[in-house]
Amino acid sequence: MIYLLEDEESIRKLVIYALESQGFRARGFETPAAFREALKQELPELILLDIMLPEENGISILKSLRKDPAAKFVPVIMLTAKNTEYDRVEGLDAGADDYISKPFGMMEMVARVRAVMRRASVKPARSEYRAGILYVSPERHEVKVDGKNVTLTYKEFLLLELFLEHRNLVLTREILLDKIWGLGVERENRTLDVHIHSLRAKLGPAGHYIQTIRGIGYLFSEDQS
Ligand code: CA
């Protein structure tokens, strides 16, 4: 999902149309208030932010996003008619990932969105995963093993999702700890093992899909060798 905050209706429509035609899900907002309200409902994968807005300017919104624990890692591209070097530097200093000056072409905009997403290694959210007897829907927060519902905690769910995104690849302890619990967690921390243990138990007959790679980490594969 991509959010666009832009008060000019014609640009808003054009950008949303261009993004949707390239397979992205996108929502446009006219005012900072509507945008902030939507942020509480769903965190987007990328934000396109105009600078000249009613109520509050885009730079100040960007600064507040960067202080928000939930939204601070969401990539932001500034869209603006102000293209002096000063504004550009101010936007980048405030934490923007890229900058597009108006007027811009839709193909250029889409290309920059793709480039920023690639850099941020944001993958378009998958609507569902199937692996052997396992079914997972991140959208609906649903896990089924052999058609039966399984209830996971939030962290267990994140772990499983990470495994499914990197099927047949070894994920090191460092990567798992960093992605699920954040930086600063020690390698020797037992939290990961405890979660893997309970995740395997809850997955029952699909539990063995999560394989231990001794001394390194874990690997998810539904094909048993
Ligand atoms: Ca504007």
Instruction: Tell me, in angstroms, the distance from the centre of ligand 1 to residue 211's CA.
Output: 52
21-37 residue pLDDT tens: 998 999 999 999 999 99
Strand order in the sheet with 210-213: 170-172, 217-220, 210-213
Q: Are residues 145 and 92 in the same domain?
A: no
* Confidence at residue 92, expressed as pLDDT on a 0 to 100 scale: 74
Place of tokens 């093992």: 193
Instruction: Tell me, in angstroms, the distance from the centre of ligand 1 to residue 33's CA.
Output: 15
* Total length of the chain: 225
160-180 residue pLDDT tens: 999 998 888 889 888 888 788
CA 54, CA 60: separation in Å to the nearest integer? 12
Q: Are residues 113 and 169 in the same domain?
A: no
Q: Are residues 40 and 110 in the same domain?
A: yes
CA 214, CA 220: separation in Å to the nearest integer? 14
Instruction: Tell me, in angstroms, the distance from the centre of ligand 1 to residue 72's CA.
Output: 23
Instruction: Tell me, in angstroms, the distance from the centre of ligand 1 to residue 74's CA.
Output: 21
Number of domains in the chain: 2
% of the chain surpassing 90 pLDDT: 52
The DSSP call for residue 88 is H
Instruction: Tell me, in angstroms, the distance from the centre of ligand 1 to residue 9's CA.
Output: 9
Domain range spanning residue 111? 2-120
- Quick check: 225 pLDDT over 60? no
Q: Are residues 115 and 134 in the same domain?
A: no
* Confidence at residue 185, expressed as pLDDT on a 0 to 100 scale: 63
Q: Are residues 6 and 115 in the same domain?
A: yes
Task: Confirm whether pTM is higher than 0.85.
Answer: no
Q: Are residues 86 and 105 in the same domain?
A: yes
Instruction: Tell me, in angstroms, the distance from the centre of ligand 1 to residue 79's CA.
Output: 9
* Confidence at residue 33, expressed as pLDDT on a 0 to 100 scale: 95
61-93 residue pLDDT tens: 999 998 887 788 789 999 877 666 666 667 777
* Confidence at residue 184, expressed as pLDDT on a 0 to 100 scale: 62
Instruction: Tell me, in angstroms, the distance from the centre of ligand 1 to residue 6's CA.
Output: 6
CB neighbourhood size of 92 (10 A): 14
